[in-house]
Structure 1
Amino acid sequence: MFEVLVYVYENYWQGDACPELPRLGRKLSAAGFDAEEIQDALVWLEGLNIAAQGTQISFENAAPTEAAESSEASVHHSANSAFTPQSANSLRIYSVAEQVHLGAESLGFVSFLEASGVLPPHMREIVIDRAMAAPGDPVTLDDLKIIVLMVYWSFGEEPDALILDELCDDTEFRLGH
């Protein structure tokens, strides 16, 4: 599934240029991807589209003073996704299921992105949601990086150059100074 997601990211780097999911499925099939991988990726992308659209609609409907507060908003998982401002002193507690499925390395990376100021709470929640919908137990760090890229992609944003380097660079053989 992640190979399909990388292909979508690379070929439709502007999220709005991506065709509707049925047409995308045909294009992916023509590109030679396995039908099961395509189906898994399309289901995953549909969940991503729903989450991103729900976030954008909520921000658009917020009053001007609420919109400024909403930049620090977090997503609550319910049928009616609602945004509430996140206090600067708030703390995200991960459920046992999230800890098991994401693993320490992926959770540490999410924490790093948050601390760097490049992953706002509403995007963090979508990353966690989509990671929970991804295969693997735990989700590998490389797969989580693809998920983060896809979340940025769904918002039509490109991460900061240094963060993009961190997301795309293979750090396995990097030497620390």
Structure 2
Amino acid sequence: MTGIILFNKPYGVLSQFTDERQGTPRPTLAEFIDAPGFYPAGRLDFDSEGLMVLCDDGRTQARIADPRFKLPKTYLAQVEGEPDETALEALRKGVKLKEGLTRPAVAELIADSALWPRDPPIRVRKTISDSWLRLTITEGRNRQVRRMTAAVGHPTLRLVRWSVGEWTLDGLAPGTWRRV
């Protein structure tokens, strides 16, 4: 049976167990997870937070990470401004990025994320409001959610992956993990 670990990756942590960059070392998964034989099923950007799924079986790992299987991933995105229905509809239909049109997303404006505070906090600008979106995508292009929100005129300030398939962050504080 495949082992699965759910991890709530904090902001500023690499989604791998080693840092190959020369110079000042950056925090990695190794500082949080001591489970030999487990590897990330997909990546989460250094400046993003939230759910990472790790497993000890290569087939399961590939099935979770490979966009061909269209496993839904839900993100909470704090964006500049308040997207109107036109912007939301553009996200729902698919957004044109330089490498082509994204698959349609489920996109909705939400009242508040009720998330933990980020360390460090996002930059706040007095003249520009912000709001929260819940976006569900079924592919995983590089920095896709950030690029999609920017394409509709609302750059992402904070990005938290809430779920991957059936797995969610429910009950997982930043920097903690559990086996399922």
**Same fold judged by TM-score > 0.5?**
no
Q: Which has the higher strand share?
A: 2
TM, length-normalised to structure 2? 0.29
Q: Which has the higher helix share?
A: 1
